[in-house]
């Protein structure tokens, strides 16, 4: 065996002791722990390296690359020249086996060699001791022809020809090669050379030979391909190169497996009110693997997060009748229900512990696809391509990608659809075209497959309130006499006042949607129920996202600040408070004080302070309309 003194992933061993029989492949090495996988049963064991070294010594474990039976190679697998050599050797062995005397004396073996060489016209017959070795290998292999296979790969010196101290220096320098800096091999050789020279200068009576460049390169590149990629290219690339390429299992009914993913859409859309450019929205979508029916989606400018993923899941679980009516889409979209398994990628939004717990609470199981294995979620990946080529490509404002299309085409200037108009267009295409056409290898449409499966496996309709409260974001707020205040908005209702009458000022758990702050849910700890509480300024907050609300308040505060910075206002304040100071100075100079009602009125002395939230009965359109068309609108969320 070629210097297999290290446990290397990908090398096979043959075990012949209790608990570990058969052929095992080294899967990974983590410190002193070696993970081995059985090639037949797929069983996985973790053994300590020291224990395995002991098994090597007592011959109960051996590397297949050094195994005398040549592993599982059959005669037909050998190169033609090796086959001919095996046949030649077997010709000599067969004559010996047919002889009456099984002794292996020099005289007898020489006689057999002479006889066989004449019969087969062998120009280079073996020596008697070589023939004797062939017989030993044959018998050791259990009288199988595998023992006669040529082992040319074992030829040559397999012992270290360099000083062990030089080998240690090389091993120390190798670590620099397997780093992201991608140091050249010539630099590694120079480092080794410098260390050897340092030793020689300090020990003139014990000189070491400087290894050649090829020697350093040979020992450096002996590590596994996985180590090479991980060290010189990166861990992410190593995961992609060496991880299993997962394939999605087959499904037999709806809701058995649902795939989830998100992608920026290749189209620019406009603001609904101002028609200013918003850019490319992000689509989060869930698709049933069996029927190819879209279960639910979320289109917004929210970055992929727990909120966007949770809202898409809520859309998938609940019926779609209200959604279709809101966008004025006529058609059938029966997809709803709790999926048994939801498969998502490894994005941070799907790795959220809150999302995992929420999905478990709904009644599903969250599974992560293998790293960089898009075919494991082939249905949803294929949908993105279909959406781009069958719908978005024909819409105004679609993007072509960098380096594609005409230099004169500017997607931003071609944008014509508002976000709401695009959603309505998307829904019409989805419900009345995509769901009614067969896709992939299927012979029937997603709608037919869903309806047929639903008749055999009826889907239970989930309660809207239960799904909403499970998937909404959580927070805590204090209940006051005026209700609950959240993000400068007040929420109150008769049921909330009942809790106040019972508990007084108390901290309560609330649930909210970042995409609609028109209402929240408040947990009644005593009764263990959620109460829906609308916003006091419901006309303003209904359908408004949290992001848009913060942007509106930011612009309100900016306008107030600009008003305070007005030059006329500043001069008036200087003159007014200058007069007040002169009044105080005049009072100091006089024994008889003059009443300063004017100063008291300016300072609001005697007036009770209170916190009041400004109510905007219908201010949101006015605020939005004040935005100029040339202003950047990246900070706006759309609702």
* Residue 536 shares a structural domain with residue 595: no
Question: Could you give the dihedral angle defined by the CA atoms of residues 224, 226, 230 and 235, in that order, rounded to the nearest 10 degrees?
Answer: -160
Contacts of 613 (CB under 8 A, 6+ apart): 485, 488, 489, 490
Q: Is residue 634 situated within a structural domain?
A: no
Are 457 and 478 in contact, with CB atoms under 8 Å apart?
no
Cβ atoms within 10 Å, residue 253 = 16
Average pLDDT value over all residues in the chain: 78
Q: Per-residue pLDDT averaged across 264-270, rounded?
A: 91
The average pLDDT across 576-586 equals: 60
At 564 the pLDDT is: 58
Which residue matches tokens 């799904």?
A: 467
Query: 57 and 92 share a domain?
Result: no
* pLDDT value, residue 56: 82
Three-class SS string for 60-102? CEEEHHHCCCCCCCCHHHCCHHHHHHHHHHHHHHHHHHHCCCC
pLDDT for the residue 560: 67
CATH number, position 310: 3.30.420.10
SS3 of 291-342: the string is: CCCEEEEEEECCCCCHHHHHHHHHHHHCCCHHHHHHCCCCCCCCCCCCCCEE
Q: Is residue 159 part of a domain?
A: no
**What pLDDT digit, counting tens, does each position of 99-157 carry?**
877 788 888 888 888 888 888 888 889 998 888 888 888 887 778 777 788 876 566 66
Extended beta strands in 117-226, E state: none
C-alpha–C-alpha distance, residues 296 and 431, integer Å = 12
The yes-or-no verdict on residue 51 having pLDDT over 50 is yes
Determine the structural domain holding residue 621 and report its residue range: 550-625
Q: What region, left, alpha or beta, does residue 496 occupy, with left being phi > 0 and alpha being psi -120 to 50 degrees?
A: alpha
Q: What residues does 516 pair with on adjacent strands?
A: 513
Q: What is the mean pLDDT of residues 588-597?
A: 47
More confident residue, 65 or 543: 543
On whether residue 633 sits in a domain, the answer given is no
What is the number of alpha carbons within 13 Å of residue 152 lying toward its C-beta? Answer: 6
d(CA 263, CA 225): 32
Do 341 and 440 lie in one domain? The reply is yes
pLDDT bracket for residue 594 (50, 70, 90): very low
pLDDT of residue 422: 93
- pLDDT tens digit string along 385-431? 999 999 999 999 888 765 455 566 788 888 899 988 999 999 999 99
Specify the length of the chain in residues: 639
**Percentage of the chain with pLDDT > 70?**
76
- Residue 630: pLDDT over 50: no
- What pLDDT is attached to residue 59? 77
Q: Are 162 and 215 in contact (CB under 8 A)?
A: yes
**Rounded distance, CA 300 to CA 285, Å?**
12
Instruction: Note the pLDDT of residue 244.
Output: 52
Say if 278 falls within a structural domain.
yes
pTM, entire model: 0.50
Of 456, 488, 508, which closes a domain?
456
**Domain assignment of residue 287, yes or no:** yes
Answer yes or no: do 355 and 369 share one domain. Answer: yes
222 lies in some domain: yes
Q: Are residues 481 and 617 in the same domain?
A: no
Sheet strands side by side (includes 44-48)? 44-48, 33-38, 20-30, 12-17, 61-63
61-103 per-position pLDDT tens digit: 877 766 555 555 666 667 788 888 888 888 888 888 888 777 8
Clarify whether residues 218 and 148 are in a common domain: no
Residue finishing a domain among 456, 483, 502: 456
pLDDT of residue 593: 47
| pLDDT above 90 coverage of the chain, percent | 19
272 with 398, same domain: the answer is: yes
**In contact, 525 and 489? CB cutoff 8 Å:** no
State the number of CA atoms in the 13 A half-sphere of 375 facing the CB.
Answer: 6
The stretches of 405-463 forming alpha helices (DSSP H) are 411-414, 419-432, 446-456
Task: Evaluate if residue 570 carries a pLDDT over 70.
Answer: no
Res 614: pLDDT: 36
* pLDDT at residue 485 in the model: 93
Kindly state whether residues 109 and 96 are assigned to the same domain.
Answer: yes
- Residue 129 burial (CB count, 10 A): 9
- Do 374 and 273 lie in one domain? The reply is yes
Say whether both 39 and 178 belong to one domain. Answer: no
Helix/strand/coil (H/E/C) assignment for every residue in 507-527: EEEEEEECCEEEEEEEEECCC
Query: pLDDT tens for residues 297-349?
Result: 988 887 777 777 888 888 899 999 988 998 899 999 999 999 988 888 776 65
Evaluate whether 281 touches 633 at the Cβ level (below 8 Å): no
Domain membership of residue 337 (yes or no) is yes
Angle, in degrees to the nearest 10, between helices 80-98 and 128-140: 90
554 in the same domain as 491: no
Considering its fold, how many domains does the chain have in total? 6
Residue 483 belongs to a domain: yes
């Amino acid at each position: 065996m070629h210097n297999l003194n290290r446990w290397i992933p990908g090398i096979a061993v043959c075990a012949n002791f209790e608990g570990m029989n058969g052929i095992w492949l080294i899967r990974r090495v983590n410190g002193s722990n070696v993970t081995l996988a059985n090639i037949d049963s797929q069983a996985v064991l973790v053994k300590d390296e020291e224990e395995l070294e002991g098994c090597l010594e007592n011959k109960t474990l051996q590397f297949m690359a050094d195994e005398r039976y040549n592993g599982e190679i059959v005669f037909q697998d050998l190169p033609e020249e090796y086959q001919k050599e095996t046949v030649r050797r077997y010709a000599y062995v067969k004559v010996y086996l047919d002889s009456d005397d099984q002794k292996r004396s020099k005289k007898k073996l020489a006689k057999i060699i002479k006889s066989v060489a004449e019969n087969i016209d062998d120009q280079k017959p073996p020596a008697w001791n070589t023939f004797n070795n062939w017989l030993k290998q044959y018998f050791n292999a259990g009288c199988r022809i595998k023992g006669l296979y040529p082992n040319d790969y074992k030829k040559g010196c397999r012992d270290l020809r360099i000083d062990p101290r030089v080998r240690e220096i090389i091993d120390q320098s190798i670590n620099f090669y397997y780093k992201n800096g991608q140091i050249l091999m010539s630099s590694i050789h120079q480092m080794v050379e410098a260390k050897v020279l340092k030793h020689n200068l300090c020990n003139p009576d014990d000189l070491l030979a400087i290894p050649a460049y090829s020697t350093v390169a040979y020992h450096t590149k002996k590590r596994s391909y996985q180590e090479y990629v991980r060290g010189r290219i990166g861990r992410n690339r190593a995961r992609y190169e060496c991880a299993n390429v997962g394939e999605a299992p087959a499904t037999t009914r709806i809701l058995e497996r649902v795939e989830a993913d998100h992608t920026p859409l290749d189209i620019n859309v406009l603001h609904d009110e101002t028609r200013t450019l918003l850019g490319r929205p992000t689509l989060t979508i869930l698709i049933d693997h069996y029927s190819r029916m879209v279960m639910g989606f979320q289109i917004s400018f929210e970055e992929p997060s727990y909120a966007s993923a949770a809202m898409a899941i809520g859309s998938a679980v609940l019926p779609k009748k209200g959604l279709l009516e809101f966008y004025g889409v006529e058609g059938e979209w029966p997809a709803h229900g709790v999926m048994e398994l939801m498969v998502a990628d490894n994005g941070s939004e799907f790795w959220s512990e809150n999302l995992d717990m929420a999905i478990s609470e709904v009644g599903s199981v969250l599974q992560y696809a293998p790293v960089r294995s898009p075919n494991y979620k082939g249905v949803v990946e294929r949908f993105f391509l279909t959406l781009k080529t069958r719908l978005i490509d024909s819409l105004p404002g679609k993007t072509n990608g960098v380096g594609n299309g005409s230099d004169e085409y500017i997607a931003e200037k071609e944008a014509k659809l508002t976000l709401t108009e695009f959603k309505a267009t998307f829904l019409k295409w989805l419900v009345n075209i995509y769901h009614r056409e067969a896709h992939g290898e299927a012979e029937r449409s997603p709608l037919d497959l869903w309806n047929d499966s639903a008749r055999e496996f009826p889907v239970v309709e989930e309660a809207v309130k239960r799904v909403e409260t499970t998937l909404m974001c959580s927070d805590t707020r204090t209940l006051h006499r005026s209700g609950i205040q959240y993000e400068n908005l007040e929420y109150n209702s008769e049921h909330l006042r009942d809790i106040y009458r019972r508990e007084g000022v108390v901290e309560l758990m609330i649930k909210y949607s970042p995409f609609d702050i028109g209402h929240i849910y408040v947990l009644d700890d005593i009764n263990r129920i959620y109460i829906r509480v609308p916003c006091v300024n419901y006309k303003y907050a209904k359908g408004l996202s949290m992001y848009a609300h913060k942007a509106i308040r930011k612009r309100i505060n900016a306008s107030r600040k600009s008003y305070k910075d007005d030059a006329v206002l500043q001069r008036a304040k200087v003159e007014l408070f200058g007069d007040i100071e002169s009044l105080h100075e005049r009072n100091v100079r006089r024994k008889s004080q003059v009443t300063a009602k004017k100063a008291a009125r300016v300072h609001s002395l005697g007036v009770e302070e209170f916190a009041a939230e400004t109510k905007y009965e219908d201010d949101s359109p006015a605020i939005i309309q004040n935005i100029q068309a040339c202003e950047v609108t990246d900070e706006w969320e759309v609702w």
